[in-house]
Structure 1
Amino acid sequence: MAVKLKANKREDLHKGTTRSIREAGRIPAVVYGNKKGNKTISVDSIELLKTVRDEGKNAIISLDVEGESVDVMLHDYQIEPLRDELVHADFYIVNMSQEMDVQVAIHLEGEAAGSKEGGVLQQPLYELSVRAKPADIPEQITIDISALNIGDSIMVSDLKEGRNYEILEDENTTIATVTAPDTAEEETTEEEETEPEIINERSTEEEE
């Protein structure tokens, strides 16, 4: 079920108007895609951030543009680095009956058995590329790693079947692995520093 977000039309694109929009706690945005013309809008920045935080970046948003609703996904956004503030957003209009390719976050659940024995858990892959209809896109893909022992790995091919999405990653890609601890201690080859024995040392004293 799509989460609702209200938006206002934005027809005056002058910098002064855009500045006023941001000062009012809103951000300028654009809606496009699915063979429809671009629309310039503004949305409440706090509401948008809350939506993404609660529903995930792949959430389907029912965008209410002054009474006209359209299903969208947050496609891109811009952050002002100095103030760390959201300043612009792009929404992509989705066709709920058509599959699309997205990146979905991987969440590792549990503590690996090998980690308890001193092994080191490594996660080379943090997102999976999947193909699904918008309503079937998962918020995240959770993988239980509690049975992983030292030397074990979870590959893309190990993920369970029966899902409503297609994984596009190579099946041989490693998602998580537990490696053995580095027990190779640096061998200190300290050579005993002894003064060399001087043989047949001549006396510095001369007999007179």
Structure 2
Amino acid sequence: MERVGLQALVRDEVGKTAARRVRKRGWVPGVLYGRGVEATPVAVELRALRDALHGHGMNVLIDLALRRNGSEETRVVVVKDLQRDIFTHEIIHVDFQAISLEETLEAHVPLVLVGTPRGVVEGGVLEQHLREVLVEALPTAVPEQLTVDVSELAVGQVLHAGDLTVPEGVTLRTPADEVVATVLPPRVEEAPPAAAAAAEAPAAPAAPAPAREEGQGS
């Protein structure tokens, strides 16, 4: 797991009005809690937080330098939760959890599928059911992502969570029978209903020849 530094200020004011003022200055309101820490309202610079997450992912380890009344202390934290604006998707609140590097934690790790399945080459369709899995490991051992080679997956085959290979020191907590991906059979295009009905309808009988009137010359 990557590790970055981030500056934070302890907030003296809380509430919606105070949070709006923080955001107007280009900062994000948040809270710090966890091991050996009382719940503390904090604020971090939006750009710095965005860069940390964009460059290293949600599981990045953060050395949070907490400034309060002229003093500073550093805590190792992870991002436990993010809230985003429903329209702009910008970060509007963050939860930091203080952790110990000597104790395991659980984290959601993204799955990245690589390779073209044999079943897709044969006309099948790859369907991914899981985008991430839950693992447990020491904070420094949590992988940024798990890369899964699906090139040998044939039509009808299913890849389960229990089939995944995880690094040493990492325990998979997602149930082993959870479906990660499968290759569906090729789709058969059906004829439009009108065309199908026309193809199945019996041919109309031929019209009878007109009767010849008696007395007509032969």
Instruction: Deviation per CA, 1:114-153: give whole Å up to 9, x if none.
Output: 2122110011111111111111111111101122222223
Separation (CA, whole Å) in 2 of partners of 1:6 and 1:178: 46
Distance of aligned partners of 1:184 and 1:132 in 2 relative to their CA distance in 1, 3 Å threshold: same
Look up the match of 2:94.
Answer: 89
> How far, CA to CA, are the matches of 1:98 and 1:39 in structure 2?
22
**Partner of residue 179 from structure 1, selected from 177, 184, 192:** 184
Q: How does 1:142-157 map to 2 (within 5 A)?
A: 142-157=147-162
Asked whether 1:33 is paired with 2:34, we answer: yes
- Match of 2:129, SS? coil
CA separation in 1, counterparts of 2:124 and 2:49? Answer: 41
The answer to whether 1:54 aligns with 2:55 is yes
Q: 2:81 aligns with which of 76, 81, 85?
A: 76
Secondary structure of the residue aligned to 2:19 is helix
The match for 2:11 is 10
SS at match of 1:122: strand
Give the 3 Å change call, closer, same or farther, for CA 6–161 of structure 1 in structure 2: closer
What corresponds to 2:212 in structure 1?
none
TM-score, structure 2 as length reference: 0.81
Q: Separation in 2 of the partners of 1:18 and 1:54?
A: 26
Distance 1:11 1:45 in 2: 19
Structure 1: which 5+ runs fail to align?
Answer: 199-208
Partners of 1:56 and 1:131 in 2: CA distance: 17
Secondary structure of the residue aligned to 1:52 is helix
Aligned-pair distance for 1:31? Answer: 0.3
Residues 46, 161 of structure 1: CA spacing in aligned structure 2 closer, same or farther, 3 A cutoff?
Answer: closer
Poorly superposed stretches of 4+, deviation over 4 Å: 195-198
Q: How many residues align?
A: 198
- After superposition, the Cα gap between the structure-2 partners of 1:129 and 1:84, relative to the gap in structure 1 and judged at 3 Å, is closer
Shift of the alpha carbon at 1:197?
A: 8.2
Compute the displacement of 1:162 (Å). Answer: 5.1
SS of 1:37 mapped into structure 2:
strand
Q: Specify which of 92, 111, 117 is matched with residue 112 of structure 1.
A: 117
Give per-residue Cα distances to partners, 1:16-63, cap 9 Å, x unaligned.
443222111001111001142011111011211121111111111111
Report the Cα distance in structure 2 between the residues aligned to 1:162 and 1:21, rounded to whole angstroms: 41
SS of the equivalent of 2:20 reads helix
C-alpha displacement at 1:108, in angstroms? Answer: 0.5
Inter-partner Cα distance in structure 1 for 2:140 and 2:111: 18
Kindly indicate whether the alpha-carbon contact (under 8 Å) linking 2:166 and 2:172 is maintained by their aligned counterparts in 1: no
Amino acid at match of 2:41: T
CA distance in 2 between counterparts of 1:120 and 1:2 reads 38
Work out the CA distance in 2 between the residues paired with 1:171 and 1:16.
46
For normalisation by structure 1, the TM-score amounts to: 0.85
Counterpart of 1:138 in structure 2 is 143
For structure 2, the residue ranges without an aligned partner over 5 or more in a row are: 209-218
